[in-house]
C-alpha cells in the first residue's frame, strides 16, 4: 500500500456522508434525540472534514517508510470509531455567538478534536483500559500486533510506546490544523493562546487524577479540582472561549463566557464519572467498572467515603484500584456507593452546578437566541446517558 494508502483504505467517504442525526447517535448506535441542534449540526461538520483535513499529513508520514502505515491506520481507526465531537462543536458555536463565520475556524475545531484524540490515546494507556468506543485501545492493538509479527522484546512496552507515539502524532497535527484558520493574525494568536491554556489545564488535571489515585487521596475539593481542569474548562469553557477569541471578542467578554459555562462543564465531568460506575457498558462504549479498577478518586467516591463508617470505608477502599475487580466486585462497590447516599448527593451537586451555570448564562450580553442555545447545550450535557 503506497503513501496515503492506509488513510484512504479506512473510508473517508463514509465519514464525509454522515449527517447530524448520525453524529447524534452514541457509540452503540442508539440515537440520543436530546442532542441540541446547535451541537449536532456542527459536530457533523467537523466529522465530515476531519479525515480529509489530515490526509496530506498522514500521506507524508507514510511516505517516510511503509512500515508506518499501521500507525497512521490506528489514528484513522480511532477517528472512525466515532465520538460526540462536543469540543470542536463548541469552538464553532463560540465563534458564531460573537458574529463569526464558523467555516473560518473549522480548522480550530479540528485541532481541538485531534488534541482530544491524543488525550484519549494517552489516557487509555495510563488507565490500562482495554476498549474505547467499542474497539480495542491502541496499546492493546499494538501489543497484539507485536505477538502476531513475532517481534522481539516486551509486547506491552511496545504497545505502550505505540499509543504514546500515535497520540503525539495527533497532538502535532492539531497545531497544523489550528494555524489554518481564516482569521486575522492578531485574533489567531489570541485563539492559539487560549488553545495553549486548554492544553496546560487538561494535562494538569490528568496529573492530579493520577496523583490522587496513586496516593489514594479522596476529598471533595480535590475531586472538583480535577473535574474543573479535565472537563469544566477543557470540555466546555475553553472551547467556547477559543471560538469567541477567534471572532475577535475582547478578552473580558470571552472570559465571562468561559466563566459562565464552567459550572456546566464541571457537571458534565461529574456526570461522566457517575456513568463510569453506574452506566451501561453497551451505551457508554467503555468497559464496565473501569473507573473502579483504576481507583479514580471522583466526587462520587469522595462523597461515599465521607459517608461510610469505618467498615464501609475499608470495604470500598479494598475494591478501588483492584485491577482484577470482577462483576461481583463492581456490584458490591455500586451497592456501597448507592447505600451511603453518595449517588444522590452527587446528583444534587450536579443539579446545583447546572442551576448556577444556567443562571450565569442567562446574564451574558448575548442575543436571546444565543442564550437559549447555550442553555440547551448545558441541559443536554448533564442529561445524557453516554
Residue 280: what pLDDT? Answer: 73
What cell does 148 get?
A: 502476531
Share of the chain above pLDDT 90, in %: 72
Domains in the chain, please, with CATH?
1-182 (no CATH), 185-386 (1.10.600.10)
pLDDT single digits (tens) 161-190: 999 999 999 999 999 999 999 999 999 999
Q: What is the mean predicted confidence (pLDDT) over 322-335? A: 94
* Window from 122-126, 299-303, 377-381 with minimum mean pLDDT: 377-381
pLDDT at 72 over 50: yes
* pLDDT attached to residue 345: 97
Work out the percent of the chain whose per-residue pLDDT is above 70.
Answer: 88
Average pLDDT score over residue span 288-315: 92
> What's the pLDDT at 170?
98
Q: In this predicted structure, which of 47-51, 180-184, 245-249, 376-380 has the lowest mean pLDDT?
A: 376-380
Q: Which residue has the higher pLDDT, 287 or 330?
A: 330
Could you tell me the pLDDT band of residue 357, with boundaries at 50, 70 and 90?
A: very high
State the pTM of this model: 0.85
Q: Are 152 and 177 in contact (CB under 8 A)?
A: no
227 or 94: which leads in pLDDT = 94
What does the pLDDT look like over 6-18, one tens digit per residue? 444 443 333 333 3
Give the per-residue pLDDT at 18: 34
For 96-113, the pLDDT digits (tens) are 999 999 999 999 999 999
Whole-number pLDDT of residue 288: 63
What average pLDDT does the structure give for the chain?
88
Contact 264, 354 (CB under 8 A): yes
Amino acid at each position: 500500500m503506497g503513501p496515503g494508502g492506509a488513510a484512504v483504505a479506512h473510508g473517508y467517504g463514509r465519514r464525509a456522508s454522515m449527517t447530524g442525526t448520525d453524529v447524534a447517535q452514541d457509540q452503540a448506535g442508539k440515537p440520543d434525540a436530546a442532542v441540541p441542534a446547535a451541537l449536532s449540526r456542527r459536530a457533523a461538520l467537523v466529522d465530515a472534514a476531519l479525515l480529509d483535513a489530515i490526509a496530506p499529513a498522514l500521506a507524508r508520514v507514510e511516505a517516510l517508510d511503509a512500515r508506518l502505515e499501521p500507525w497512521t491506520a490506528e489514528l484513522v481507526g480511532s477517528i472512525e470509531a466515532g465520538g460526540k465531537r462536543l469540543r470542536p462543536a463548541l469552538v464553532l458555536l463560540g465563534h458564531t455567538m460573537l458574529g463569526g463565520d464558523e467555516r473560518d475556524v473549522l480548522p480550530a475545531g479540528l485541532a481541538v478534536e485531534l488534541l482530544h484524540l491524543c488525550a484519549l490515546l494517552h489516557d487509555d494507556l495510563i488507565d490500562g483500559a482495554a476498549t474505547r468506543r467499542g474497539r480495542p485501545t491502541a496499546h492493546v492493538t499494538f501489543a497484539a500486533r507485536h505477538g502476531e509479527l513475532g517481534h522481539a522484546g516486551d509486547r506491552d512496552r511496545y504497545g505502550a510506546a505505540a499509543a504514546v507515539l500515535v497520540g503525539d502524532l495527533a497532538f502535532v497535527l492539531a497545531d497544523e490544523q489550528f494555524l489554518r484558520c481564516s482569521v486575522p493574525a492578531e485574533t489567531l494568536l489570541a485563539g492559539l493562546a487560549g488553545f495553549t491554556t486548554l492544553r496546560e489545564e487538561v494535562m494538569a488535571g490528568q496529573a492530579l487524577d493520577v496523583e490522587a489515585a496513586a496516593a489514594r487521596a479522596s476529598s471533595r475539593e480535590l475531586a472538583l479540582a480535577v473535574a474543573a481542569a479535565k472537563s469544566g474548562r477543557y470540555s466546555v469553557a475553553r472551547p467556547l472561549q477559543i471560538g469567541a477569541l477567534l471572532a475577535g471578542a475582547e478578552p473580558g467578554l470571552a472570559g465571562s463566557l468561559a466563566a459562565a459555562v464552567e459550572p456546566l462543564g464541571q457537571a458534565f465531568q461529574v456526570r461522566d464519572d457517575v456513568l463510569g460506575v453506574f452506566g451501561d457498558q453497551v451505551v457508554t462504549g467503555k468497559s464496565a467498572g473501569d473507573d473502579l479498577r483504576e481507583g479514580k478518586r471522583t466526587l462520587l467516591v469522595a462523597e461515599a467515603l465521607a459517608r461510610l463508617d469505618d467498615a464501609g470505608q475499608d470495604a470500598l477502599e479494598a475494591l478501588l484500584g483492584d485491577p482484577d475487580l470482577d462483576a461481583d466486585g463492581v456490584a458490591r462497590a455500586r451497592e456501597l456507593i448507592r447505600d451511603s447516599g453518595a449517588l444522590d448527593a452527587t446528583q444534587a451537586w450536579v443539579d446545583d452546578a447546572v442551576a448556577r451555570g444556567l443562571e450565569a448564562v442567562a446574564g451574558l450580553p448575548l442575543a436571546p437566541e444565543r442564550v437559549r442555545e447555550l442553555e440547551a447545550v448545558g441541559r443536554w450535557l448533564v442529561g445524557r446517558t453516554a
